[in-house]
Amino acid sequence: MWACFGPADGRYAGTADAMRIAILGAGHVGATAAYALMLRALVDEIVLIDRDLALARAEAADLSDANALARPARIWAGDYGDAASADIAILTAGAATHGTESRLSVAARSARIVEDCVDALMSEGFSGILLIAANPVDVMSFVAHRRSGFAAARVIGTGTLLDSSRLRQVIGERLDIAPTAIDALVLGEHGDSELAAFSTIRIGGMTLDGYAASAGVSPDKAEIAALVRTAGYDIIAGKGYTSFGIATAIVRICEAVLRDERAVLPVSTMLTGQYGLAGLYMSLPCLIGQNGIERVLTPDINADEEAALAASAGVIRTALDMLADDRPKPTAPSTARISSQPA
């Protein structure tokens, strides 16, 4: 119901028991996530932070106009000091991709932005949960984890939650069944090497093959996997950016944390030996509650899928190796905004 502006107009102190989310990056993804959070009535306060203060102020004002017709929350454009007491800081700021440019191709540019944002957060004493939505999200989650010094449980990447939703959607269309009736996982990288784990899919307790046979259909798994893998690029080709799907995934993760749901969601997390993989972020189903990631699950997958998962990890490892480990800390923290990342 309110639009408050900062930092030029001073920081908003808030109240001690208010639940607050800070969104770093007020571009398409950040603004849409703020809108979805407002409609879900999850928090009392939403602060938008962007190096383009005029943009952040305009989005906050527009959201506040909508908020007057929804459920009251305090929404304003602020600075990193306002983010210090946030329960969750959502980092959407990163380098944009163009055309068919892959998520991994912007890793170096995005890493500098993510490091700036994390440095600024840490300098203000932030102690909440870091939710990373900047691409390439697995690499950026690793960068944020390393830069923040936080336990890995407190640095979560949106990972393949959106891809898994897309998989459910495509299968639902092929089988003429509600996506919500389908349990399906995409694992590994949120990107071109991702794994649609068809062996784990269940519909009413039946395998995908079993259900399809009973329905008299034969879905093309390779086609389905390709549609899911290229969905972000297809959306960008049509409208220039993605926003609604990734924003909804962001809100779903926030909901699991803030309500201490102990929900199982496929998100990007630090691997510590699962499937023989360690020392990198990628997506596996995780138990999520108020402390962040409380447990990493290892679903039963077949040998071909495990090999594909290892290959996906190799892609992420190569991207990590290409980033300089000793990049000096920046002296002028800034927040960029996403305009056209393939989510």
Percent of the chain residues past pLDDT 70, beyond the cut = 86
Give the full edge-to-edge strand order of the sheet including 2-5.
2-5, 74-77, 45-49, 20-24, 88-91, 129-132, 155-157, 263-272, 278-289, 292-296
Domain range enclosing 206: 161-321
Which residues, in sequence order, are bridge partners of residue 292?
289
Catalytic residue among 28, 98, 145, 190: 190
pLDDT in tens, 189-231: 999 999 999 999 999 999 999 999 999 999 999 999 999 999 9
pLDDT at site 103: 54
Dist CA 121 CA 89 (whole Å): 9
Same domain (yes/no): 144, 273? no
For the cut 60, the answer to whether the pLDDT of residue 7 exceeds it is no
Phi and psi torsions of 156, nearest 5°: -115, 135
Dist CA 196 CA 220 (whole Å): 13
pLDDT at site 104: 64
Same domain (yes/no): 169, 71? no
For the cut 60, the answer to whether the pLDDT of residue 330 exceeds it is no
Same domain (yes/no): 91, 110? yes
For the cut 60, the answer to whether the pLDDT of residue 181 exceeds it is yes
Query: Mean per-residue pLDDT for 84-99?
Result: 84
CATH number, domain with residue 99: 3.40.50.720
- For residue 143, tell me if it sits in a domain: yes
Is residue 28 annotated as a catalytic residue, yes or no?
Answer: no
CATH number, domain with residue 295: 3.90.110.10
Dist CA 180 CA 149 (whole Å): 37
Residues 6+ apart with CB under 8 A from 270: 142, 145, 152, 155, 279, 280, 281
Please provide the average confidence, as pLDDT, over all residues in the chain.
Answer: 90
Give the full edge-to-edge strand order of the sheet including 206-207.
182-183, 202-203, 206-207
pLDDT greater at residue 30 or residue 338: 30
Residue 299: is the preceding peptide bond cis (ω within 30°)?
no
Domain total of the chain: 2
Q: Do 157 and 267 contact (CB within 8 A), yes or no?
A: yes
- For residue 329, tell me if it sits in a domain: no
